[in-house]
Structure 1
Amino acid sequence: MIERSEWLHLIPHQGRMALVDRVLHFDNEGLDAESDNHRDPSHPLRRDGVLRAVHLCEYGAQAMAVHGALVARASGATALPGLLVALRAVELAVERIDHLPGTLQIQAVRVTTDSSAWLYRFSVRHEGEELARGQAMVMLDNGDT
């Protein structure tokens, strides 16, 4: 396990908006992480006391950011800042997640990356059941714009 204090400073998500709690494993291809904050009554994405399943896409996107930052650091570099620009083939198996008692298991798998963009597949599970999956693309700010 990679402690949160080892990577949190590498990503833009801070405070309560940093949704990934723990990184269990990462390599060049992807990352496995966990989170328990979906049960927090003061979760920043809750509306009217409910945390919708669509927010699992944010968990997946943040897992991508953590992965990109850890891979860059392992190669002696710093990950470029980026902007989530597309979600595709998103499938949600539930409507809400705030009532789920266990830990969320988050996986981000890199499909492709180059100097301008990252494309990942992500999935989020709870107690073995897949709650969400999809693809996400991040455009990187490499200073060319």
Structure 2
Amino acid sequence: MLSREQIEALIPHKGKMCLWDEVLAWDAGSVHLRARNHLDPEHPLRSRGRLHAVHLCEYGAQAMAVHGGLRAQHGGDPARPGMLVALRGVQLHCAELDGLAGWIECVADVLVEGEGSQQYAFRISHAGKLLAEGRAAVMLQAPEQNPRG
């Protein structure tokens, strides 16, 4: 299990914008995380006092980033920065996250990956009830060239 501090070391999101609190499990093809920051009245994605379900897409995207960071770290390489370029098949099964006591959890699975891109499926739930699901694609920055000389 990884802590919030360890997660922050893997991804560019820091402080309250780091949305995941713990990594429960991971392997080369998937990651399982959980968070309870949706309860924070000062959540950075909160608008007019509400945390809307559409923000679960950002949770899904950050799950991808955490998984990429874990895989890179395991391989001894730096993680390649990426940019979210598409969301597909997103289904929101709730309107907002307010009132959900306890943890929300995410499982993100690698669907397709190439040299410069990755696509994941994500499922986010609370107490066994599905809140959101979808697919997300990211374009990865080209690896830095190491000049020899």
Residue 2 of structure 2: aligned partner: 2
Question: Which letter does structure 1 place at the counterpart of 2:86?
Answer: A
Residue 68 of structure 1: aligned partner: 68
Residue 79 of structure 2: aligned partner: 79
Offset of residue 4 of structure 1: 2.5
Offset of residue 6 of structure 1: 2.5
Q: Secondary structure at the match of 2:58?
A: helix
Residues in 1 aligned to 2:137 and 2:98: alpha-carbon distance in whole angstroms: 26
Q: More displaced, 1-10 or 39-48?
A: 1-10
Residues in 2 aligned to 1:99 and 1:3: alpha-carbon distance in whole angstroms: 24
Residue 137 of structure 2: aligned partner: 137
Residue 20 of structure 2 is aligned to residue 20 of structure 1: yes
Q: How does 1:1-145 map to 2 (within 5 A)?
A: 1-142=1-142
Q: Secondary structure at the match of 1:16?
A: helix
**What is the identity percentage for the equivalent residue pairs of Structure 1 and Structure 2?**
47
Q: Structure 1 unaligned runs (5+)?
A: none
Offset of residue 75 of structure 1: 0.7
Offset of residue 114 of structure 1: 1.6
Question: Which letter does structure 2 place at the counterpart of 1:115?
Answer: E
Large movers: runs of 4+ above 3 Å: none
Rg bigger for which structure?
Answer: 2
Residues in 1 aligned to 2:104 and 2:4: alpha-carbon distance in whole angstroms: 16
Question: Which letter does structure 1 place at the counterpart of 2:45?
Answer: L
Residues in 2 aligned to 1:100 and 1:6: alpha-carbon distance in whole angstroms: 25
Offset of residue 141 of structure 1: 1.1
Q: Secondary structure at the match of 1:34?
A: strand
Offset of residue 143 of structure 1: 5.8
CA 1:29–1:59 in 2, change beyond 3 Å: closer, same or farther?
Answer: same
| Aligned residue pairs, count | 144
